Structure 1
């Protein structure tokens, strides 16, 4: 799958159907788009940023696309092949809430220490605000700034703002979605409504 080819082989499609929540037709459509954006079969960080720029023309998606790229680059090779792309997309967009949050945890755990600190959370949320362009979106009054949104999410995990330097969110806490407010859940699942 890493080589440039015009079509996926049947056994590739069969394997991807088992690993994802996409149909044969959807996999073929995504592959067509993927090879258009990455003819070499490898989607680079720069390619990933350009794709996000197409979807978010009123903001600056550079930082978010870079963060997201790291989550899609499962093998940390510096590029995303089609299998990593479609597998991550399937989890992030069509997985169960638990699967989505487990995948999203990789995005939020910026320093890869197995925990999400306040700064990790802040980095991702601020990048989302930059990407969507706050002049084009209406926010609730109490979430007009990225900082207020970060504070709200942080507190939803029963963390104290006064202790944000010493507290962390574990994977178990992050994926315990039944105790979280639906709006917080939706903000943590960043690719929720993509496909």
Structure 2
């Protein structure tokens, strides 16, 4: 009986193969690990934070984990099913840059008004800097602080931090051609998990 619960059924496997960028073997491995770590099949925010703490031991991932949890909890019910987990992980880790930007937009839209303000952007970047720990990464001179990185990203979108009431729309955000590769590295935090 335990064997059956640690494997995806054929229908779910077929569905997830078509909705993710994972192979059948990878999906089965992820499912087995998910069921082992989350026997209820419903990943809670506390468990999600615990996972981030394991991957980012030199920083404080709590704040960012809360933001990311919202993106993974697509049904907004306070927990993450395996299906929601694996689809989000696929987008966040293996999606195209445009797919990653679309998926991550709600993370950056902290006040949920449909746009990203400079304060929204800075809030998330501060949480990322806290999560990864500044001593564990080498940053460019103009990205040493969350403020300097936020300013750099804001300007890449043609915005001026001195002009109030500016914001980035979803359409602007997904136009990744406006961004240089070094600006988008914060979108790749889930790449190292797989």
TM-score bracket for this pair, using the shorter chain length: over 0.9
In structure 1, C-alpha distance between the alignment counterparts of 2:183 and 2:92, rounded to whole Å: 16
Unaligned runs of 5+ residues in structure 1 are none
Contact kept? 1:186, 1:192, Cα under 8 Å: no
TM-score by structure 2 length? 0.94
Q: How many residues align?
A: 191
The residue correspondences of 1:1-195 to structure 2 (distance < 5 A) are 5-163=5-163, 165-195=164-194
**Secondary structure of the equivalent of 1:51?**
helix
- The alpha-carbon deviation at position 192 of structure 1 amounts to 4.0
- The alpha-carbon deviation at position 193 of structure 1 amounts to 4.4
User: Root-mean-square deviation (CA), in Å?
Assistant: 1.4
Contact kept? 1:104, 1:189, Cα under 8 Å: no
- The alpha-carbon deviation at position 194 of structure 1 amounts to 3.6
In structure 1, C-alpha distance between the alignment counterparts of 2:192 and 2:6, rounded to whole Å: 28
In structure 2, C-alpha distance between the alignment counterparts of 1:54 and 1:192, rounded to whole Å: 15
After superposition, what is the alpha-carbon deviation per residue over 1:66-87, rounded to whole angstroms, capped at 9, x for unaligned?
1100000001000000000000
Contact kept? 1:142, 1:148, Cα under 8 Å: yes
TM-score by structure 1 length? 0.93
Contact kept? 1:56, 1:131, Cα under 8 Å: yes
- Please, which moves more after superposition, 39-48 or 96-105? 96-105
In structure 2, C-alpha distance between the alignment counterparts of 1:172 and 1:36, rounded to whole Å: 39
**Secondary structure of the equivalent of 1:135?**
helix
Structure number with the higher helix fraction is 2
- The alpha-carbon deviation at position 176 of structure 1 amounts to 0.5
Contact kept? 2:59, 2:130, Cα under 8 Å: yes
In structure 1, C-alpha distance between the alignment counterparts of 2:189 and 2:171, rounded to whole Å: 19
